[in-house]
Amino acid sequence: MMLQVKDLSVFYGKIQALDKLSMEIHQGEIISMIGANGAGKSTLLKAIAGLRLQMNGSITFEGEPLVSKTHETVKRGIALVPEGRHIFGNLTVYENLVMGSYLQKDKKVFKEDLESVYELFPRLFERQKQTGSTLSGGEQQMLAIGRGLMSKPKLLLLDEPSLGLAPKLVSEIFKKFEKINKMGLTILLVEQNARQALALSHRAYVLQTGRIIKQGLGKDLLADPEVQEAYLGAKQKAAAV
């Protein structure tokens, strides 16, 4: 098992965001976490990534517990591509990618990684000298993903990568996730765009108010009537007509 979350509870003051959540990820999987806004999906990613949270429970990665320090988590091989991209708007595309490889001391490895990111997202290569703030939303998302890959993670955490992107671009980026997965990376994807996330994933969890209410294979959950009703908008569409 690559990552194991056990009885994880997270609080924001008096509000409980996660309630004894347990889940696991195996090497090579694409796992998605779907659920409504405020269900606790992003909180889970933040807890894994080591952001400072008020929490109890345990998170182990490759058999060893993770500490709540983001820079240690990156060292262990976990990269978070945060919600809302958070690229450095004052740095160039190239500099953003250099920041992604901050812990990489080997120049040769850095060059290889940079090339593979440019190969995955040729647009970033074209824009490498532009500052981050001049990129379009889709390009910023590509940069955020590319920057995450630059730390050579084993596990990539993606927080709402489809947010604010045109549907066509979403499909394009989701195809890249498959490619990244084939490169050997394990992916944990948090998405409100449940249909595409489930179609892409090997397994998935459904999160509601801090608890996992359903889990299973991606394709099984896609066919699940309850999931369809609550997250895929099947019933609402019918009602609207």
Partner 1 sequence: MIKFIQQLINGTSIGFVYALIAIGYSLIYSILSFSNFAHSTFIIAGAYTGFFLLTAVSLPLPFSLLGAIVGGILIAVFAEKVAYRPIRERGNPTLYFIIASMGMSIFGENIVIATIGPKFRSYPPILSVTAYQIGGISISVLDIMAAVVGSIFLLMLMYVVNKTRQGMAIRAAAFDLETVGLMGVNTNQLISLVFLVAGALAGLAGFFLGMKYTVFPQLGNLTMKAYVAAVFGGLGSLPGAVIGSVFLGIIETIIAGYFSSTLRDIFVFALLILVLLVRPSGLMGAKREDKV
Interface residue list for partner 1 (CB under 8 A): 49, 51-52, 69-71, 74-75, 79-80, 82, 86, 88-91, 95, 98-100, 102-103, 131, 133, 147, 151
Residue 111 Cβ, how far from partner 1 at the closest point, in Å?
Answer: 15
Q: How far apart are CA 30 and CA 54, in angstroms?
A: 28
Q: How far apart are CA 125 and CA 37, in angstroms?
A: 34
> Which token pair is 64?
């060893």
- Tell me whether residue 88 or residue 125 sits nearer to partner 1 (CB atom): 88
Residue 132 Cβ, how far from partner 1 at the closest point, in Å?
Answer: 8
Question: What's the distance, CA 99 to chain centroid?
Answer: 18
Residue 239 Cβ, how far from partner 1 at the closest point, in Å?
Answer: 41
Contacts of 70 (CB under 8 A, 6+ apart): 49, 50, 51, 80
- Tell me whether residue 81 or residue 227 sits nearer to partner 1 (CB atom): 81
Residue 74 Cβ, how far from partner 1 at the closest point, in Å?
Answer: 4
- Tell me whether residue 82 or residue 161 sits nearer to partner 1 (CB atom): 82
> Which token pair is 240?
């609207």
Residue 166 Cβ, how far from partner 1 at the closest point, in Å?
Answer: 24
Residue 163 Cβ, how far from partner 1 at the closest point, in Å?
Answer: 16
- Tell me whether residue 35 or residue 148 sits nearer to partner 1 (CB atom): 148
- Tell me whether residue 121 or residue 231 sits nearer to partner 1 (CB atom): 121
- Tell me whether residue 26 or residue 75 sits nearer to partner 1 (CB atom): 75
Residue 234 Cβ, how far from partner 1 at the closest point, in Å?
Answer: 36
* Cα dihedral across residues 216, 163, 9, 28: positive or negative: positive
